[in-house]
Structure 1
Amino acid sequence: MIRILEVVNDMHRAGLETMLMNYYRNIDRDQIQFDFLTHRPYDSDYDQEIRSLGGKIYHAPRLYPQNYPAYFKYMKRFFEDHPEYKIIHSHIDAMSYLPLKAAKKAGVPIRIAHSHNTSIDKDFKFPLKVYFKHQIPKVANYYAACGQAAGEFLFPGKNFKFIPNAIEPDKFLFNERTRKEYRTKMGFTDKNLVIGHVGRLSYQKNHKFLIKIFDEVHKKEPNARLVLVGVGEKEKAIRKQVRELHLNKYVQFLGDRSDVANLYQAFDVFVMPSLFEGIPVVGIETQFSGLPCVFSNNVPSEVQFTSMCNFLSLKDGLDAWINKIISLKNASRKVMKNSELYNSVYNIQYAYSILQNYYMNLYRKLK
């Protein structure tokens, strides 16, 4: 059995983490086992399931600059204690430089950097991340990405392996009964235009613009409602903006949810005005659920594999967004179960073999 060390921040219920779990559930675990090196001291949403599938979870120090000496000390000891890891696969974008540098120093032969985005968060580590981005080729010897744009961003001029952000489609197919049940549970009637968003409450997802859009939609459509699913560092600022616009009664903050597939059924339109994205997993899930989507054109068009997608520029102005959203309010929902959809590269029943074969082929190179 090959044990792969998957490097993440944590294994909470978010796009990247959910994608990894989709692969983990479907690969042949008699041949390949995932273990997870996290950078948070706490247990995460998927930890129990990981352990039930035979995986191990390790907690490294957080990747704060002041922790770097302790981090490299921990990693040195970690690889001394765990010589079984011949493949390390890091999913933390530019920050992958740090675990891959430690892995290279420890002699780990296969070091994969994986790009999941097309830009860098402008947080306090932004200058370091820009530096680390340019240093990745010094420590990685293989590259992977969720899409063309993401790969070209983090690894310009490099060849990289496309690993699709695949999902388990049967969980997301439209169900009229579930739609009625969830809309009733959430206090919605047929008169409500329900706009949904699923994503971390962060700079990248551009909730400030989303709230502005909804404010104007609500003026034209008083029965409109906005549902925000997710948690994050911008939650306080987003709630403040909602209060200041007197939208408290019309915006629901649902936090972290395990029933996102059912929530999609209750929505009428999914809106994602992101500042940057790789290939958002939620963009795949919504299409399988037959939900009309409005994305910013910062979301790579590679995400589109149905007619449900609409792309607008953030420079188009509020009116373009408002009109597009309102135009979709009566769009019919249908069960998206057809051969074209099921043969999509985003169907995990097909895609798992891409990652499985990738690992197996890399491991053979060691012999």
Structure 2
Amino acid sequence: MNKPIRILHVLGALNRGGAETMIMNIYRNIDRSKIQFDFMIHTNEKCDYDDEIIKLGGKIYSVPRYVGKNHFKYKHAWDTFFSSHTEHKIVHGHMRSTAAIYLEIAKKHGLVTIAHSHSTASRGNKIEQLVKSVMQFRIRYRADYLFACSNEAGKWLFGKKAISKDNYKIIKNAIDVEKYVFNEVKRSEIRTVLDIEDKFVVGHVGSFTYPKNHKFLIEVFYQIQMQNKNAVLLLVGDGELRSQIENQINKLRIKDKVILTGVVPNVNDYMQAMDVFVFPSLWEGLPVTVIEAQATGLHCVISDTITDEVKITQLVKALLIDATPDSWANQILTYTKPVRENTKEYICNAGYDIKTTTKWLEDFYISEL
């Protein structure tokens, strides 16, 4: 019996972020007798998906986090890894900041290289962003293939000319659509557990990081609850800025109206409990959570910074990111009596069904050997 092809995915960590969740959705659905995923990460800390990956037959490796002064140590770690791990045939890089480094080394070792863009902006201060821009510019020339979750994400990382080339591919942030089809029983169950049976539930799913714009979201919700005393805010996720957001909530004296669930494995169930989904990100690639929200029939109020490619149903309303919190609140309050729609057909027809995406990627990997 032939052994499965081993693909090395490169990430910062293996927690429940957008890119990581998308990869795990594919990993769960791929034919693992043909394709097996391994992961190279930049941390030694235990991550959310570690146990599941091991259970599915994957292996997890780590290299030191790149900090500039360890440039040669970082390159050596990668060179040593590829020399001793000849089982990998393809390296699929999702961590863009150092992709030009590790993809170049991978090519020297004879691997097929893929760079995958999941966003449209860099984090960090101006100096850090400048350094990243210089490093990331070379990716378009180092990778054999350029993948992106949207054309906006592709143009941002690889340049406008790149998206017209044959080696450029759109890999949509697909989901397991069946899990998100509206379920009244599950909605009632979650709302009972959270003690919000009769509430107007404003929902959000996202890591507590600067791009997700939680500070503005709290300001918007403050205006909402001033007009609708029955409103509650359901925040699913965790992250580095959580304590700051909790302080803001306390200062506004709305702690009793905000539910913070932390990271949960069943985001789809919590979306059932929401009445409207709000996503005021400062920047995104193509946010899978907005696809998920549409799949469960939720009206979505999002920022105009997010690509129009995310609008696959009539449920999405984009507002100016620099609009006032009360103008956002007024729009959200128009959905206090929502009617959930079955959007399964729309999601699948738009190419966001995980089984279709997984089969395409499986065939792609095999064709490259």
Whether the TM-score (by the shorter chain) exceeds 0.5 is yes
Match of 1:292 among 274, 285, 299: 299
Tell me by how many angstroms 1:285 deviates: 0.8
1:219 aligned to 2:226?
Answer: yes
- Residues 138 and 346 (structure 1), Cα distance of their counterparts in 2 relative to 1, 3 Å cut: same
Cα offsets for 1:143-173 (capped at 9, x unmatched):
1000111001100021311111111111111
**In structure 1, distance between residues paired with 2:197 and 2:265:** 23
Letter in 2 for 1:286: A
State how 1:151-166 maps to structure 2 within 5 Å.
Answer: 151-156=154-159, 157-158=161-162, 159=165, 160-166=168-174
Q: Structure 2 stretches of 5 or more lacking a match?
A: none
Conserved in 2, the CA contact under 8 Å of 1:88 and 1:108? Answer: no
**In structure 2, distance between residues paired with 1:94 and 1:356:** 26
1:37 aligned to 2:40?
Answer: yes
SS class of match (1:3): strand
**In structure 2, distance between residues paired with 1:358 and 1:132:** 27
1:3 aligned to 2:6?
Answer: yes
SS class of match (1:227): strand
Q: TM-score, normalised by structure 2?
A: 0.93
1:98 aligned to 2:101?
Answer: yes
**In structure 1, distance between residues paired with 2:328 and 2:287:** 20
**In structure 2, distance between residues paired with 1:137 and 1:175:** 44
SS class of match (2:208): coil
Q: Structure 1 stretches of 5 or more lacking a match?
A: none
**In structure 2, distance between residues paired with 1:94 and 1:115:** 11
1:74 aligned to 2:77?
Answer: yes
**In structure 2, distance between residues paired with 1:77 and 1:58:** 12
1:342 aligned to 2:348?
Answer: yes
Conserved in 1, the CA contact under 8 Å of 2:313 and 2:343? Answer: no
1:110 is aligned to 112
Conserved in 2, the CA contact under 8 Å of 1:93 and 1:116? Answer: no
Instruction: Name the Cα RMSD after superposition.
Output: 1.6
SS class of match (1:295): strand
Tell me by how many angstroms 1:80 deviates: 0.7
**In structure 1, distance between residues paired with 2:303 and 2:98:** 26
Conserved in 1, the CA contact under 8 Å of 2:281 and 2:305? Answer: yes
2:206 is aligned to 199
Tell me by how many angstroms 1:261 deviates: 0.8
2:337 is aligned to 330
Tell me by how many angstroms 1:207 deviates: 0.9
Identity rate, percent: 40
1:60 is aligned to 63
Q: TM-score, normalised by structure 1?
A: 0.93
Cα offsets for 1:219-238 (capped at 9, x unmatched):
11122111111111211221
**In structure 2, distance between residues paired with 1:150 and 1:276:** 10
Tell me by how many angstroms 1:189 deviates: 2.8
2:235 is aligned to 228
SS class of match (1:239): helix
Letter in 1 for 2:131: L
Letter in 1 for 2:334: S
**In structure 2, distance between residues paired with 1:229 and 1:97:** 34
Letter in 2 for 1:184: T
Letter in 2 for 1:193: F
Letter in 2 for 1:65: G
Conserved in 1, the CA contact under 8 Å of 2:8 and 2:88? Answer: yes
SS class of match (2:284): coil
1:251 aligned to 2:251?
Answer: no
Conserved in 2, the CA contact under 8 Å of 1:174 and 1:336? Answer: no
1:13 is aligned to 16
**In structure 1, distance between residues paired with 2:141 and 2:185:** 54
SS class of match (1:258): coil
